[in-house]
Amino acid sequence: MVSFNEQQKKLLEELAARYPVLRPVQKSVLAAYEVLEACYARGGKLLIAGNGGSCADAEHIVGELMKGFLKPRRLREELQERLCAEDEENGARLAAALQGGLPALALNGHPGLSTAFANDVDADMVYAQQVCGYGEEGDVFLGISTSGNAKNVDYAVTVAKAKGMQVVGLTGKDGGRLGRRADVAVIVPEQETFKIQELHLPVYHTLCLLLEERFFGDGQP
């Protein structure tokens, strides 16, 4: 069981207070955090995929994880020193400006690869191909599907599990196949697509904030 510091507890309390409708899925949000925290603690990465608005959510999550969200995320002193030593002219600027990141990759952002594979093989397997190429045992695949039944996300789940990755699902309605197959599924209590998407945002914002506090909070390197 992961222990939370006071700031993380405050973040969880704020989620429940601002979005009471999400209280029934609080345990699954915590379980999703535990999977992600363990992945990053062992040096793993997160692969994310979705379609339409969920595709945009995948990019949004990457933006929150790969740079500062609410915290400045100063680089480790050792890396700052190495940057300065490598480039006397620009190293100090880089050391002051760059931020620590949690490795995350949205699988929709590679049009050359995606269109080539879609044309040559099968468009529904584009995400699966990328999980096959990027994914390693110990990584996490986050599938986002409002129905839980997106075929391309489901194919990616199959590959992720075959490669020894854990799967987190973010979905709605009855969870669909994603809800049944994921190691942890956050199934928000809505039925209409746009309403499901509206609840996905506070869930993943909270997960990103919890992770940032864990890895870049006070006392962290």
* Cβ neighbours around 104 below 10 Å, total: 23
Structure tokens at 57: 């959510």
Q: CA 106 to CA 48: how far, in whole Å?
A: 5
Nearest to 29 by CA among 166, 186, 171, 182: 186
Alpha carbon distance, N-terminus to C-terminus of the chain = 23
Shared-domain flag, residues 154 and 50: yes
How many residues in the chain?
221
Mean local confidence (pLDDT), 181-201: 98
Interval 14-58: pLDDT, tens: 999 999 999 999 999 999 999 999 999 999 999 999 999 999 999
Does residue 41 fall inside a structural domain? yes
Shared-domain flag, residues 41 and 116: yes
CATH of the domain at 171: 3.40.50.10490
pTM (two decimals):
0.96
Band of the pLDDT at 3, cuts 50, 70, 90? confident
Interval 128-159: pLDDT, tens: 999 999 999 999 999 999 999 999 999 999 99
Q: What is the pLDDT of residue 218?
A: 76
Structure tokens at 52: 């339409």
Shared-domain flag, residues 128 and 162: yes
Q: What is the pLDDT of residue 109?
A: 87
Average pLDDT, the chain: 96
Please say if the pLDDT value at position 1 is more than 90.
no
Shared-domain flag, residues 94 and 142: no
Q: Could you list the residue range(s) of the whole structural domain that residue 111 is in?
A: 16-66+101-216
